[in-house]
C-alpha cells in the first residue's frame, strides 16, 4: 500500500467549503431546537466558519445563501471574511420560501412567477460579481404532490427556458451548478429528481453549467460513487453537497452513517481527476461542500467533525494501491481486488493526520483544541439578544 508520507502533499489540496446556514438553527418539520451562541448575523456565521478553518485548516471558504445572508455591501462582507481568514464561496439561490412559489418557481404555469424566480437568480449573479464567487448553485424545491397536479413535461420545458436565461447572464469565470433531489419538499415528483435530469439540462446549457451531487438526494440503494465516476467521465461534475443519511435527506454529518461509502466516493473523485486539479490557487474544478443540519449536536464541533471525516476518508482513498488494484482486476481476482480496496479503507490514518497537522502549525486534535479554546463560551456570552439565524 502507498505510504502516508507519499500522500502528504496531495492532502494539502483538500479544501472543503462550509455553508453559512450550518451555523444557524435547523430542524425538522416538527421542531427547530435553538442553542446558545447561535449566530444572529451573517458576520457571526462567517466568524464561526472561520473558527472551523482555524482549527482544521480544511475549510477556507464559506457558501452564502440568498436571501438568508442578504447584506447591503458584499464587498465589505468579503473583506470581513478575508480578515477572518476565509473567503466567500458559492452563492445559493432560494426559490422555495416565498408564497408565490407554492406551486413552482422556474416551472410555474404563471409567467410572472417564472420571471420573478429568474430575477432572483440574476440578483444572485449580481452578488457573485461583488463577492467574486465562482459558482451559482441552484437547488429547486419545485415539483408536485399529487398525480395530475402539474404537467411534468411542460415543466421541463419551462425549466430549460429559465435556466437558459440565467445561464446567459453568467460571466466567463462563473458557473451554474444544478442540484438534483429525489424528493422533498415535493412528494409526488420533483422537477430535477436525478443526475440524469440535471445532466440533460446542464449539457444543453453549455460548458460552464455543471451538476451538483448532494449525497443525501438519492433513492435507497443508489450507488453514488458510480454517479461520481460517470459525471467526471462526462466532464460535468461541478460540486458536492456532502452529508450523510440513513433514510431520506437526513442531512447528518458526512461520514457518520456510512464512512465506507464516503471512502468509495473519494476514491472515484481521485480516480476521475476531480481532486486537487486546480491550477494555481483557483478553486478546484469539483467543489467539495458540506450541506448538513446539526439539529441536535453542537454546530461548530459538528462542522469540525465533518471536515475531519472528509479528510480521513480522503487520506485513506489516496492510500489506495492503484497499481496492485489494476493488476488484480486484470487477472479477474475478485477477492484480491476487494482486499486491496478495503485495505486502504481499514488503515487507521488518524495518528498520521495528527502529525500532518502539527507539521503545518495546526492543532493535532482540532476537536479538543476547539473545545479547550474558549470560543464556544465566548460566543454564548456575547450573542445574547437578537434573533438566532435559521432557515428563513
User: Which residues in 70-129 contact a copy of itself (CB under 8 A)?
Assistant: 96-97, 99, 102-103, 109-110
Give alpha helix (H) positions in the chain. 4-11, 42-56, 74-83, 111-131, 152-167, 195-205, 224-233, 259-271, 299-319, 322-330, 334-346, 350-359, 366-373, 375-382
Query: Rounded to the nearest whole angstrom, what is the least distance from the CB of residue 20 to a copy of itself in the complex?
Result: 17
Q: How far is the CB of 217 from a copy of itself (least distance, A)?
A: 12
Angle (nearest 5°) at CA 72 between 98 and 118: 40
Helix boundaries (H) for 249-365: 259-271, 299-319, 322-330, 334-346, 350-359
If one asks whether residue 279 binds a copy of itself (CB under 8 A), the answer comes out as no
Question: Which residue of 119, 226, 235, 323 would you call a contact of a copy of itself, by CB under 8 A?
Answer: 226
Shortest distance (Å) from residue 158 CB to a copy of itself = 12
Find out whether 212 and 177 touch, Cβ atoms under 8 Å. Answer: yes
CB 2 → a copy of itself: shortest distance, Å? 15
| Interaction residues for a copy of itself, span 16-35 (CB under 8 A) | 26-31, 33-34
Q: Which is nearer to a copy of itself, 74 or 180 (CB)?
A: 180
Q: Judged by CB under 8 A, does residue 369 bind a copy of itself?
A: no
Residues in 203-222 that interact with a copy of itself by CB under 8 A: 218-222
What is the closest distance, in whole angstroms, from the C-beta atom of residue 82 to a copy of itself in the complex?
Answer: 30
Contacts of 352 (CB under 8 A, 6+ apart): 4, 315
Candidates 8, 347, 373, 388; binder of a copy of itself (CB under 8 A) is 347
Pair type for strands 175-179 and 135-138: parallel
Q: For residues 174 and 287, what is the distance between their CA atoms, to the nearest angstrom? A: 13
Interface with a copy of itself (CB under 8 A), residue from 118, 128, 141, 362 = 141
Residue 188: CB minimum distance to a copy of itself, A: 6
Applying CB under 8 A, does 68 fall inside the site for a copy of itself? no
94 near 391, Cβ under 8 Å? Answer: no
Pairing between β-strand 61-65 and β-strand 87-92 as defined by DSSP bridges: parallel
**Residue from 256, 269, 288, 362 binding a copy of itself (CB under 8 A):** 256
For residue 157, CA distances in Å to 108, 116, 154, 200, 211 come to 11, 17, 5, 12, 18
Q: Which one, 160 or 278, has the nearer CB to a copy of itself?
A: 160
Interface with a copy of itself includes 363 (CB under 8 A)?
no
Which stretch, 47-55, 276-284, 327-335, 372-380, contacts a copy of itself (CB under 8 A)? 327-335
- Contacts (CB under 8 A) with a copy of itself, residues 373-392: 391
Amino acid at each position: 500500500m502507498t505510504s502516508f508520507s507519499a500522500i502528504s502533499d496531495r492532502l494539502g489540496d483538500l479544501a472543503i467549503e462550509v455553508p453559512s446556514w450550518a451555523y444557524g438553527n435547523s430542524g425538522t418539520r416538527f421542531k427547530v431546537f435553538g442553542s446558545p451562541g447561535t449566530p444572529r448575523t451573517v458576520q457571526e456565521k462567517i466568524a464561526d466558519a472561520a473558527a472551523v478553518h482555524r482549527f482544521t485548516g480544511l475549510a477556507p471558504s464559506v457558501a452564502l445563501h440568498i436571501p438568508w445572508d442578504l447584506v447591503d455591501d458584499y464587498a465589505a462582507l468579503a473583506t470581513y471574511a478575508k480578515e477572518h481568514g476565509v473567503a466567500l464561496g458559492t452563492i445559493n439561490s432560494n426559490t422555495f420560501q416565498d408564497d408565490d412559489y407554492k406551486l413552482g418557481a422556474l416551472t410555474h404555469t404563471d409567467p410572472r412567477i417564472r420571471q420573478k424566480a429568474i430575477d432572483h437568480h440574476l440578483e444572485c449573479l449580481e452578488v457573485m460579481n461583488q463577492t467574486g464567487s465562482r459558482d451559482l448553485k441552484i437547488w429547486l424545491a419545485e415539483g408536485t404532490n399529487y398525480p395530475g397536479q402539474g404537467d411534468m413535461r411542460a415543466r421541463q420545458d419551462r425549466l430549460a427556458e429559465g435556466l437558459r436565461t440565467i445561464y446567459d447572464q453568467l460571466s466567463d469565470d462563473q458557473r451554474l451548478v444544478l442540484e438534483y433531489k429525489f424528493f422533498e419538499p415535493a412528494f409526488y415528483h420533483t422537477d430535477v429528481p436525478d443526475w440524469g435530469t440535471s445532466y440533460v439540462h446542464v449539457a444543453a446549457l453549455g460548458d460552464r453549467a455543471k451538476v451538483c451531487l448532494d449525497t443525501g438526494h438519492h433513492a435507497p440503494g443508489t450507488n453514488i460513487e458510480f454517479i461520481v465516476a460517470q459525471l467526471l467521465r462526462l466532464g460535468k461534475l461541478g460540486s458536492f453537497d456532502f452529508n450523510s443519511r440513513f433514510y431520506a435527506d437526513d442531512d447528518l454529518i458526512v461520514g457518520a452513517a456510512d464512512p465506507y461509502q464516503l471512502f468509495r466516493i473519494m476514491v472515484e473523485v481521485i480516480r476521475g481527476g476531480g481532486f486537487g486539479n486546480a491550477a494555481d490557487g483557483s478553486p478546484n474544478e469539483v467543489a467539495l461542500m458540506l450541506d448538513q443540519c446539526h439539529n441536535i449536536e453542537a454546530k461548530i464541533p459538528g462542522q469540525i467533525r465533518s471536515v475531519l471525516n472528509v479528510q480521513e476518508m480522503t487520506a485513506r482513498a489516496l492510500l489506495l494501491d492503484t497499481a496492485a488494484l489494476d493488476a488484480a482486476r486484470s487477472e479477474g481476482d475478485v477477492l484480491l481486488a476487494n482486499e486491496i480496496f478495503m485495505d486502504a479503507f481499514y488503515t487507521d490514518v488518524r495518528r498520521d493526520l495528527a502529525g500532518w497537522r502539527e507539521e503545518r502549525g495546526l492543532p493535532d486534535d482540532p476537536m479538543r483544541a476547539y473545545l479547550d479554546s474558549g470560543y464556544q463560551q465566548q460566543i454564548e456570552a456575547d450573542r445574547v439578544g437578537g434573533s438566532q439565524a435559521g432557515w428563513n
